Structure 1
Amino acid sequence: MEPKELLDFLHIAEHLKCNTRHSYTSSGRHESVAEHSWRLALMAFLMKDQLPGVDMDKVLKMCLIHDLGEAITGDIPAFEKTDDHRHTEARAVDSLAAALPRPLSDEFSALFAEMEARTTPEARVFKALDRMEAVLQHNEAPLDTWIPLEFELNRTYGVEDAAPFPFLKALREQLIADTDEKIADSTMT
């Protein structure tokens, strides 16, 4: 990869710092897509010894790149995303892959295809972590930033994804307990 190609790609990726998500931080400001991706990657790194038989280096790569299409399309919350949105984001990912030299572009495309298919343990772990990071962020955000459907969504989002992996299942159960505690604490004040 030539330096100019790298810088051009990183310039596009920088938009993830500017594009905000539906989620809020604990200080009450909108979270950026880049912040979500960073903590998702940190989660994967910290769990490398908790998921035997899973290639956590591959999961880490998935976490780092999974929302790159949103550098072009912006973020759309999962509960609002349509097939048209997914198609537009897939085209954005294809254009980003095309901007990379081979074999990097091939690896990039293969990772996205694997994440989309969700047939490998790595893709399933990635998706579980992606959803759980969103739940974690909501648990940290002020409750008045939640919309009504999130009171139930925070209890169910990612449960099925985490279930096949004992450590992820336990983590998801703890997130549910944290959600319940947050909601209960708010009704006592």
Structure 2
Amino acid sequence: MKAREYLDILHVAERLKDTTRHCTTSKGRVESVAEHSWRISLMAMLLREEFPELDIDKVICMCIIHDLGECFTGDIPVFNKTDKDREVEDKLLSDWVNSLPEETKKSFSALYAEMDALETKEAKLYKALDKLEALIQHNEAPISTWAENEYELQKTYAHDAVAFSEWLKELRAEVLKDSLDKIAAAKEN
């Protein structure tokens, strides 16, 4: 890869630093997509011992690139995202990936195909972490930042994504406990 090609990729990816998400931080600041991607990458790295049979480096790569399509479309919360929104994002991302240097194009394309198929444990782990991170972030954010539908989503979201792993089901249960405690504390105040 030429130095200019490398820089061009980084310039596109930098957009995620300014692309905001629906979630807020513990201090109430709107978070960026880059911050979300960083944290699910950290989450994956920390699970190396829990999932020794998995290629955690591949999972980390999936976590890093999973939202690059949002460089072109911005972030649309899962509960607002339509099939048309997904088609547009997929098309713009595909066009960009196809413009990359050959080896990078092959690598990214293979990862996106595996992520989309959700057949490998690596892809399932990345998807579970993606969903769980949003729930964890909501638990850390001030409850005043929650949309009305998020009270129910905190209780119901991501159970399907963690079903393949006892450890992840345990984590989801702990996240749910934190959500219920937060909701109860807010009702008391």
What letter corresponds to residue 117 of structure 1 in structure 2?
Answer: A
Q: Where does residue 122 of structure 2 map in the other structure? A: 122
Q: Where does residue 88 of structure 2 map in the other structure? A: 88
Which runs of 5 or more structure 2 residues have no equivalent in the other structure? none
Bigger CA drift: 73-82 or 46-55? Answer: 46-55
Q: Where does residue 156 of structure 2 map in the other structure? A: 156
Provide the C-alpha distance between the structure 1 equivalents of 2:92 and 2:137, rounded to a whole number of angstroms: 26
Counterpart mapping for 1:14-29 below 5 A: 14-29=14-29
Provide the C-alpha distance between the structure 1 equivalents of 2:76 and 2:131, rounded to a whole number of angstroms: 14
Provide the C-alpha distance between the structure 2 equivalents of 1:5 and 1:170, rounded to a whole number of angstroms: 43
Is 1:5 aligned to 2:35, yes or no? no
Deviation at 1:99, TM superposition (A): 2.7
RMSD of aligned Cα (Å): 0.9
Q: Where does residue 112 of structure 1 map in the other structure? A: 112
Provide the C-alpha distance between the structure 2 equivalents of 1:183 and 1:171, rounded to a whole number of angstroms: 18
Q: Which runs of 4+ in 1 moved over 4 A?
A: none
Deviation at 1:102, TM superposition (A): 1.5
SS in 1 for 2:76: coil
Deviation at 1:61, TM superposition (A): 0.5
Q: Where does residue 147 of structure 2 map in the other structure? A: 147
SS in 2 for 1:11: helix
Q: Where does residue 32 of structure 1 map in the other structure? A: 32
Deviation at 1:164, TM superposition (A): 1.3
Deviations 1:141-168 (A, max 9, x none): 0001101110010111111111211111
SS in 1 for 2:23: strand
- TM-score for the superposition, normalised by structure 2: 0.97
Contact 1:9 1:99 in 2 (8 A): no
What letter corresponds to residue 22 of structure 1 in structure 2?
Answer: H
What letter corresponds to residue 147 of structure 1 in structure 2?
Answer: A
Contact 1:26 1:142 in 2 (8 A): yes
Contact 1:24 1:31 in 2 (8 A): yes
Count of residue pairs the alignment pairs up = 189
Q: Where does residue 54 of structure 1 map in the other structure? A: 54
